[in-house]
Amino acid sequence: LMLEESLRNAIENKDFHLVYQPQIHLETGRLRGFEALLRWEHRVAGTVAPNVFIPLLEETRLINRLGDWVLREGASQCSAWRPRFGDDLVISLNVSPVQFGMPQLVDDLRRVLEAFALPPQQLEVEVTESALMQDLELTREQLRQLRELGVRIAIDDFGTGYSSLAYLRHFELDTLKIDRLFVANMLDSPRDAAVVSTIIDLGRHLGLEVIAEGVETLAQRDWLLAHGCTFMQGFLVAPGLPVAKAEAFPGVVD
């Protein structure tokens, strides 16, 4: 209860901010965009990670308010960065299953796109597989409207949910994000390697972009490149960066 109270205060006081983790084209080193990651700056506890406070926000439904703030803040930043990074830069925004289940998500996105005069393809919505499996009719309608709006749609933590290949046939998506647990283990575990290369092939056959998450070593990068993965994200390149550092990030990395 105390945590809920302090979360309410934190939303009022705007004690949240976003950090931005670069996504890099494996072959060329070109910057694709950034995933926006939420941070809570607690006066006493310091920086609190979202896996600590998001579940509580979901239980209390406060996630809808904070989630709308994330969309607005991410869009605002994307707009501010257009002169610096160009009009192809993608900002990926995480959307909780609760938020995904609300019809207002599409209106919220439309509003922020209009407010910042952003081309819709510069924003990418990341939803988890489990969010898609909640209610098939709602999911179908929500994805249809997102697609109509023109924002990109990414499946986050791909491979960890109640994966059904059926939805890849039914839904039009843009991006698969390979969960970082597979990446972490793929060089040691043939099973994980098989999962990763299968996701890469699946993405290629379906015409989807594939982003490997949690890339920490050059050996992992080389393996992913050799297996045809298009993009990577992870500590090898950079963690989530505060705005000033993200802004200084090069358009191409070695």
Q: Which residues are at the interface with Na ion (CB under 5 A)?
A: 156-157, 213
Q: Which is nearer to Na ion, 100 or 116 (CB)?
A: 100
> Cα separation of 231 and 212, whole Å?
6
Q: Is 33 in the site for ligand G (CB under 6 A)?
A: no
Q: How many residues does the chain have?
A: 254
Among 1, 2, 44, 51, binds ligand G (CB under 6 A): 51
Distances (CA, A) of 147 to 110, 113, 124: 12, 14, 11
In the bound complex, what is the minimum distance in angstroms from residue 194's beta carbon to ligand G?
21
Helix (H) or strand (E) holding 64: helix 63-85
224 neighbors 212 (Cβ within 8 angstroms): yes
Please identify, among the stretches 46-54, 65-73, 74-82, 119-127, the one whose residues bind Mn ion according to the rule CB under 5 A. 119-127
In the bound complex, what is the minimum distance in angstroms from residue 189's beta carbon to ligand G?
16
Q: Is 38 in the site for ligand G (CB under 6 A)?
A: yes
54 binds, among Mn ion, ligand G, Na ion, none (CB under 5 to 8 A by kind): ligand G
Among 68, 124, 156, 179, binds Mn ion (CB under 5 A): 156
Q: Which is nearer to Mn ion, 13 or 47 (CB)?
A: 47
106 neighbors 146 (Cβ within 8 angstroms): yes
Among 22, 33, 203, 234, binds ligand G (CB under 6 A): 234
96 binds, among ligand G, Mn ion, Na ion, none (CB under 5 to 8 A by kind): ligand G
- DSSP letters along 2-56, please? HHHHHHHHHHHHT-EEEEEEEEEETTT-BEEEEEEEEEEEETTTEEE-HHHHHHH
Query: In three state form, how does the secondary structure of 91-105 look?
Result: EEEECCHHHHCCCHH
By three-state DSSP, how is residue 121 classified?
helix
Q: Is 194 in the site for ligand G (CB under 6 A)?
A: no
Give 201's contacts (C-beta < 8 A, 6+ positions apart). Answer: 228
Binding positions for ligand G, rule: CB under 6 A: 21, 37-38, 49-51, 54, 70, 94, 96, 156-157, 180, 213-216, 234-235, 239-240
Binding positions for Mn ion, rule: CB under 5 A: 94, 126, 156
